[in-house]
Structure 1
Amino acid sequence: MSLLQTRGLTKAFGGLHAVQDVDFDLPEGEVRALIGPNGAGKTTFVGMLCGRVAPTAGAVRFAGADISRLPAHRRIREGMAYTFQITSVFARLSCRENVALAVRRRKGDAAREVPAALARVGLGDRADQLAGDLSYGHQRLLEIAMGLAQKPRLLILDEPTQGLADSEIEGFVALVREVRAEATVLLIEHNMSVVMDTADRITVLNFGEVLAEGTPEEIHADGRVQDAYLGTGDA
């Protein structure tokens, strides 16, 4: 069963189609990577999934229900969580307080769940540090902790390894493998090593359209993908 589905999803800005007629199915329990060159429409597509960008045409369905007109906060309530390409933590609050906000949103046990979420992303020893004082990479990890604290059915991660050290990327890969047991994951990522190590299947966008879809092995061997993306140096 598809947890997330789009049909004919389109976004036009004036005469420019950033996303054009995309049909997309994400089964529950899968880790799906979304890749493509810069300007392929990935961020716009994800914005429509999350409710931050209104589609020009088409539909988004989540857990069998049409959510095309639901605002972003309602989609979160329905079981979506997402991190942004640009971090959106509360800089003047501590790491603990940032994650506590996510836990309290669903009326969870902050005293127990906040330390656990921070520990999962490797920030257990930074609970009292102000989020604004963290490095960019650690802010990314904090945002992931906030997403996990919501206990979502679908976790959307937009460029999560940007700014992470190699050792932290290894930890992130292990985390995704662990999270897949409790949530479906949609990963928008330029680091192809991370994509190949974590994804069950990959969807490739190019010029706002689906160019290819398949297993990591199939995508790596696809000549169209090589020409449009993997061979360009953007990976």
Structure 2
Amino acid sequence: MKPLLIARNLSRNFGGLKAVDMVDFSVNPGEVRAVIGPNGAGKTTLVSLLCGRIEPSSGVIGFNGEDITRVPAHIRVRMGIAYTFQITSIFPNLTVYDNVALAAQRTLTDGRSRKALDASVRDAMLHVGLTERASTPAAALSYGHQRLLEIAMGLALHPRLLILDEPTQGLSDGEIKDFIKLVRDIRKETTVLLIEHNMDVVMRLADRITVMENGRILAEGAPRSIRANAKVQQAYLGTADG
């Protein structure tokens, strides 16, 4: 199986700080891939490089067989990479429907009708359970529903790869349970790259886990092997929540 996303010798320096240091990384089509590590490990910088929010200092990034190393973020969206932020990034004064519609319009072509846009928006809202809140201003949503709205905005792009950065941050136990069900549903159609601190969520969802420390990859493997890895336990799992 050819990887959907691949990075080779990927680095990003901020002055003398090597936030990402010579990382080799790949994501296969159809998998749920998790990236974990302590704060400052380089996780968010890595995914920012992958989605084009920042440029690498060195290295190569490929997506679906194409070199996207210098491709701008908005073009990567059209190519099929959607990224939800660690902190909610919504338009608070717009309704749920309009937030999702704005996202969907980023992939519209001249040949797509208003009817097709409406269908795309409603399908995304249905996926995350926000259909009944379509006319609700985003600012009036609970924090958990705002996170779901952001995922709906990502799904409306019909991505081949959906990157979720700390999606369960601030969610209640019940909302986390619903999120796990949601990702299991999403993976039927979309490859998922998950950056997450909640180890219970990671172990229940991920096919493979990448552990980062100090900008480098410390370990990779299936959940069981990662849980049993002594280096991972010392660097992260022993002090992680859950």
Q: Distance in 2 between matches of 1:104 and 1:41?
A: 32
Q: What TM-score, normalized to structure 1?
A: 0.96
Rounded to whole Å, the distance in 2 between the matches of 1:199 and 1:209 is 20
Tell me whether 1:44 sits opposite 2:79 in the alignment: no
Note if contact 1:4-1:25 (Cα within 8 Å) is conserved in structure 2: yes
2:193 aligns to what? 186
1:234 CA displacement: 5.0
Shift of 1:181: 1.6
Read off the aligned partner of 1:57 and give its amino acid letter.
S
How far apart are the structure 2 equivalents of 1:151 and 1:114? 10
In structure 2, what is the equivalent of residue 91 of structure 1? Answer: 92
**Alignment match, 1:206:** 213
Task: Find the partner of 2:237 among 214, 230, 233.
Answer: 230
User: Structure 1: which amino acid aligns with 2:142?
Assistant: S
2:170 is the counterpart of 1:163: yes
Residue 121, structure 1, aligned to residue 128, structure 2: yes
1:13 aligns with 2:14: yes
| Structure 1 outlier segments of 4+, above 4 Å | none
**Shift of residue 233, structure 1, vs aligned partner:** 3.3
In the alignment, is the contact (CA less than 8 A) between 1:19 and 1:44 conserved in 2?
Answer: yes
TM-score (norm 2): 0.94
Q: What is the letter of the counterpart of residue 124 of structure 1?
A: T
Once residues 119 and 78 of structure 2 are traced to their aligned partners in structure 1, the CA distance between those partners, rounded to angstroms, is 21
Counterpart in 2 of 1:136? Answer: 143
1:153 partner letter: R
Answer whether contact 2:197 2:240 (CA < 8 A) is retained: no
Q: What amino acid does structure 2 have at the position aligned with 1:125?
A: E
Unaligned runs of 5+ residues in structure 2 are none
> How far apart in 2 are the matches of 1:130 and 1:101?
14
How far does the alpha carbon of each residue in 1:27-73 deviate from its partner, in whole angstroms, 9 at most, with x for none?
Answer: 11111000000000001111100111111110111001110101100
Two-structure CA RMSD over aligned residues (Å): 1.2
- Pick aligned residue for 1:219 from 210, 226, 233: 226
AA in 2 matched with 1:62: F
Aligned ranges for residues 44-83 of structure 1 at < 5 Å? 44-83=45-84
Unaligned runs of 5+ in 1: none
Query: What CA distance in whole angstroms lies between the structure 1 residues aligned with 2:166 and 2:137?
Result: 23
Identity %: 60
- The one-letter code sitting in structure 1 at the alignment partner of 2:162 is L
SS at match of 1:19: strand
What do the CA deviations read for 1:148-169 (whole angstroms, capped 9, x no partner)? 1111000000011112222221
Q: Would the aligned equivalents of 2:198 and 2:241 in 1 still touch at CA under 8 Å? A: no
Q: Is the 8 A contact 1:37 1:234 kept in 2?
A: no
How far apart in 2 are the matches of 1:113 and 1:86?
A: 24
**Inter-partner Cα distance in structure 1 for 2:144 and 2:73:** 25
